[in-house]
Chain A
Amino acid sequence: MTSPPKKIVLLDDSDLIRDLVRETLEQRGYVVVDTSSPFGFSNLLRREKPDLALLDVTMPTLRGDKLAEIAIQHGIVCPIVLFSDRPADELDRMAKSVKAAGYICKTGDMDEVVRSVERFLK
């Protein structure tokens, strides 16, 4: 790989999912910066300048779609992808309403997740 590795920011309140996704993506050669707190997400994106941000939707303190909306309103240009186990049509609606780059359904199939990430990075 001649180009530098792509950087992905991952926000999820579940330690289990965070570890799983991080390990999977790191095995594929991505640099993953993960966090569990929705606070400071925009500033994290501003600081890290990732190529993609994966954002959980259902979180007790602040919902991911709202967070994505705030980040996009505050001038974040990095593509933000909603990453949730909610139904696909609901996620699609959410992503469109907050002008996010799209959504990825959380399934047990990590290969599917990686394929979706690659699609968004193209």
Chain B
Amino acid sequence: MHLVLNPSHLSLRSKLVALITLLISGVAIFLILFFPARMDAFSRRWLERRGEGMATVLANASAPGLEFDDAANVQQLLNGLSGTAEIVYATVRRANGTVLAALHPERAPTENPPVPAQVVTSYVGDELRVFAPVRARSGAVGVLTLGFALDELKREKHSQDVAVGWVSIIVFILGLGASFIVGTVLVRPVRLMTDVALRIARGDLSQSELHITSRDEVGRMAEAFNQMLRSLRELASAAQRIGQGDLTLRLNMEGQLAEAFNGMVESQRTLVGQIGETVIQLGSAAAEIYAAAQQQEGASNQQASGVEEVSRTMQSLLDSASHVANSTKGVLTAAERTKQTTDATSKRVAGLSDHTNRIAEVLEVIRDIADRSDLLALNASLEATRAGEAGRAFALVATEMRRLAERVTASVQDVKTLLADIRAFGATTVMAADEGRKLADGTTESARQITLVTQQQRSATEQVLQSMQQITVILSQTVQSVQQARSAVQMLKTLADQLAELMARFRVDERSGVKPKAAA
């Protein structure tokens, strides 16, 4: 309910129609109320004047009749009024109230009115009563009473009311129609502009300009609207060019919007320029870091292969050490065996010495036997010589026996010499064996020391190898890190290049766009 009554919700045309309806209603009400009332008052006054005039004329005319009490004369005078339709009745009374003459006395009021000083009118019911004093020259007085019917007047008024009502209704309808038409005519361009404004508000600037040729306010409004549309189109095309990256343009328009727009483009240009500069710097810095990472990667790889080489050398050193240890073990065993052999030899040589001593004893026995045999043979020979011829053969045997004994003695001597030689050889052998033993001892000691040193070397080499393996692990981690860093920087470099490409889409000066990279 309040929606309907709220004027801000009504359309312009409705408001116009409502306003005009209100105005016309006011005029109609005025016509209906004020005008008939005035006409009524006017016709009453006219009737009163007419009544007064007629009453005055009739009073003056009936004065002689009253003076001479000539009722017939006055009656004749009153009868002259019968042609007048609106006169209901007419009486002339004397001062004492008796009727002198009367027209339609049955309609007249019966009461006796006082004699007024002048003509008096009054309305009683549907009639107008006019009282006029009648003054004769003799001083006698009377009252003339006239009754006018108001029927005619009322009929007139009614017909007038009806006419006014019809006129009002016609005016109302015509006004309504006119206001509707005027409203429509006035509102149409406004509606048109509203539609265009709504489409602009939705972002559609493609519609054509408004063709409103009138030079009134609406026409000027349309012109202003067209100007606004043109400005918006210019702004849109400028925005489009900015969207395509052209930051060199400047709007040739005045006002806050153009200023703000130009300010925005200007600050964007500055910003893009600064970003472009930063991108250039970023690009070369990324390229430098990338190249450094590449170089570091190469160096790390070289280091890794160096460490690998050292590891290999260390491994071969370790192998050599174990080889040396094995060899030393062999040497040690050999030396031990040599010592045992030498000891055995010494023992055997000592045993030989015992044997030679016993041989020497046996030889002494043999020599003794040989000596005794020689002595026995000599004795036998002497005995044979003494026996003569018989003992001759015996003497030969004895000589042979002596020779044999002598050869045994000589042989014993030879064996003795041989024994002495053997003894001497045995001593030399013992000495040599002793020396050999000592040498074997030295070899054993040396071999032990070599084993010790080799073990130390081996553990040291193992430690070095272990360290090298750790270094290899660390280096491979380093290489990995450097590789990761390099690929990260590569990504950074790619991003910087992409950014530079993107930045090249912007034009910040008249000549060219942002050129962050000279080389492709």
Contacts and interface: CB of A to CB of B under 8 A. Distances in A.
Interface of A: 38-43, 46, 60-63, 66-67, 70-71, 73-75
12 contacts: A39-B289, A39-B292, A42-B284, A42-B285, A43-B281, A43-B284, A61-B292, A63-B291, A73-B518, A73-B519, A74-B283, A74-B284
Chain B, interface size: which category? 10 to 19
Nearest to A75: B518
A38 B285 CA distance: 10
A108 B109 CA distance: 160
Contacts of A66: 291, 295
B292 A74 contact: no
Interface in B462-520: 515, 517-519
> Looking at chain B's contact residues, is the secondary structure mostly helix, strand, loop, or mixed?
helix
B477 to A, nearest CB: 20
B288 interface: yes
A72 to B, nearest CB: 8
B517 A67 contact: no
B258 interface: no
A7 to B, nearest CB: 19
A61 B296 contact: yes
B100 to A, nearest CB: 139
B292 A70 contact: no
Contacts of B285: 39-40, 42-43
A67 B283 CA distance: 13
A39 B519 contact: no
A45 B500 CA distance: 19
B518 A46 contact: no
Contacts of A43: 281, 284-285
| Chain A CB within 10 Å, residue with most, of B285, B288, B517, B518 | B288
A62 B284 contact: no
Given A38-B292, A40-B285, 17 more contacts: A39-B285, A39-B292, A40-B288, A42-B281, A42-B287, A61-B296, A62-B288, A67-B291, A70-B287, A71-B284, A73-B519, A74-B280, A74-B287, A74-B517, A75-B280, A75-B515, A75-B519
B281 A62 contact: no
Interface string B259-291: 000000000000000000000110111011101
Contacts of A75: 280, 515, 517-519
A79 to B, nearest CB: 15
A105 to B, nearest CB: 23
Contact of A74 (B289, B295, B299, B519): B519
